[in-house]
């Protein structure tokens, strides 16, 4: 099965992450009738149906039956229970490509429950909703039992699926997923936290919330867009804003004196450590 205009997708667990991927897929032209989403609470399903016109009225078993690609989007802590329940109620993954987006769970944890099916681990991020996602992808070593051509097709299907919502990065080892998650999976939260802090200070200066938000939003998107100008590194762009002895230099000195790089290193290491702990739970 190569992905084509008939490939159908079932999202099991349609919360923040699956919702972002679904939104990005539909926005990039995937036919909504090819997307099914299930969720424990009905409100989220209804909201997705209203917004994107996808199918949401099937239970997990029926959704899996009708799909070529099954995307597992529940929380890591719930994954084993959800899969065990599905398998004990007859779910058959043998002719599916199964893709998980959960953090911290090793491929073996899944295949121990659902069998050695065609399987890809993905670490996406929520900017998928606006077509600027980054999806780290890993095809498990357990896949070696499949023909090379089957694995190549699955790589192609998954690349096409996640290319609908942004950039794709194939990883060689499973441990790299935790590192990618620390950078791009969690990364949007770091930028949001920084934006929150800047907007709070702008309000403290006396700007209204609306003006504070616009200043921060336009600055963030403008700066991000400028980084796509390939002839300038992040450092050069920073230097272009920073007049020697000027006000930007005064602000950056404060970040440096508070060890910005060391703080970022410590934060990302903590994310990796937590993902590794989660894989052992």
Smallest distance, Å, CB 269 to ligand NAI?
A: 18
The site partner of 37 among ligand A1CAB, ligand NAI, none (C-beta below 5 to 8 Å per kind) is: none
User: Which of the stretches 28-36, 82-90, 166-174, 178-186 binds ligand A1CAB when contact is defined by CB under 6 A?
Assistant: 178-186
Query: At a CB cut-off of 8 Å and minimum separation 6, what does 259 contact?
Result: none
In the sheet that holds 69-72, the strands lie side by side as 35-38, 9-12, 69-72, 97-100, 118-123, 133-139, 166-170
- Residue 13 annotated in ligand binding: yes
Let me know if 248 is exposed, middle or buried by CB neighbors in 10 A (0-12, 13-18, 19+).
middle
- Residue 1 annotated in ligand binding: no
- Residue 14 annotated in ligand binding: yes
CB atoms within 10 A of CB 99: 26
Whichever of 61 and 213 has its CB closer to ligand NAI, that residue is 61
Whichever of 189 and 250 has its CB closer to ligand NAI, that residue is 189
CA 209 to chain centre: 29
The site partner of 39 among ligand A1CAB, ligand NAI, none (C-beta below 5 to 8 Å per kind) is: ligand NAI
Residue from the set 143, 158, 186, 279 that interacts with ligand A1CAB by CB under 6 A: 186
Q: What span, in angstroms and rounded, lies between the C-alpha atoms of 181 and 138?
A: 12
The phi, psi pair for 18, rounded to 5°, reads -60, -40
Whichever of 76 and 115 has its CB closer to ligand A1CAB, that residue is 76
User: Which of the stretches 150-158, 171-179, 180-188, 214-222 binds ligand A1CAB when contact is defined by CB under 6 A?
Assistant: 180-188
- Residue 226 annotated in ligand binding: no
Smallest distance, Å, CB 163 to ligand NAI?
A: 17
The pair of three-digit structure tokens given for residue 246, joined into one six-digit string:
């000027």
Closest CA to 265 of 182, 151, 184, 203: 182
22 binds ligand A1CAB (CB under 6 A): no
The pair of three-digit structure tokens given for residue 155, joined into one six-digit string:
């790589």
Q: Which residues pair with 118 in a beta bridge?
A: 97
Q: What span, in angstroms and rounded, lies between the C-alpha atoms of 279 and 281?
A: 6
181 binds ligand A1CAB (CB under 6 A): yes
Smallest distance, Å, CB 265 to ligand A1CAB?
A: 18
Whichever of 41 and 229 has its CB closer to ligand NAI, that residue is 41
185 binds ligand A1CAB (CB under 6 A): yes
Binding positions for ligand NAI, rule: CB under 6 A: 12-13, 15-18, 38-41, 44, 60, 73-76, 78, 82, 101-103, 123-126, 185
Q: What span, in angstroms and rounded, lies between the C-alpha atoms of 281 and 275?
A: 10
Positions of E strands within 124-205: 133-139, 166-170
The phi, psi pair for 8, rounded to 5°, reads -115, 150
> Total residues contacting ligand A1CAB (rule CB under 6 A)?
4
**Would you tell me which residues interact with ligand A1CAB (CB under 6 A)?**
103, 181, 185-186
Binding-site residues for NADPH: 60
The annotation places the binding site at: 12-17, 60
């Amino acid at each position: 099965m190569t992905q084509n205009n008939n490939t159908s997708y079932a999202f099991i667990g349609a919360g923040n992450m699956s919702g972002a991927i679904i939104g990005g897929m539909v926005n990039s032209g995937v036919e909504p009738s090819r997307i099914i989403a299930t969720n424990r609470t009905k409100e989220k399903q209804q909201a997705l149906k209203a917004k994107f016109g996808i199918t949401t009225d099937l239970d997990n078993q029926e959704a899996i039956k009708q799909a070529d690609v099954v995307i597992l989007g529940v929380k890591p802590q719930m994954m084993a229970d959800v899969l065990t329940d599905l398998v004990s109620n007859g779910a058959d993954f043998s002719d599916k490509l199964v893709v998980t987006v959960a953090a911290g769970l090793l491929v073996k944890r899944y295949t121990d429950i659902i069998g050695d099916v065609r399987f890809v681990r993905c670490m996406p991020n929520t900017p998928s909703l606006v077509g600027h996602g980054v999806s780290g992808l890993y095809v498990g070593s357990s896949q070696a039992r499949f023909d090379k051509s089957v694995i190549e097709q699955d790589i192609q299907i998954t690349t096409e699926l996640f290319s609908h919502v942004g950039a794709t990065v194939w990883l060689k080892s499973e441990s790299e997923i935790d590192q990618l998650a620390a950078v791009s999976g969690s990364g949007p939260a770091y930028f949001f936290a920084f934006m929150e802090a800047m907007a709070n200070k702008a309000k403290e200066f006396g700007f209204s919330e609306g003006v504070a938000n616009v200043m921060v939003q336009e600055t963030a998107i403008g700066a991000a867009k400028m980084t796509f100008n390939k002839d300038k590194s992040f450092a050069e762009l920073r230097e272009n804003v920073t007049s020697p002895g000027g006000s930007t230099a005064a602000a950056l000195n404060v970040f440096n004196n508070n060890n910005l790089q060391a703080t970022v290193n410590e934060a990302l290491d903590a994310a990796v450590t937590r993902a590794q702990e989660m894989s052992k739970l």
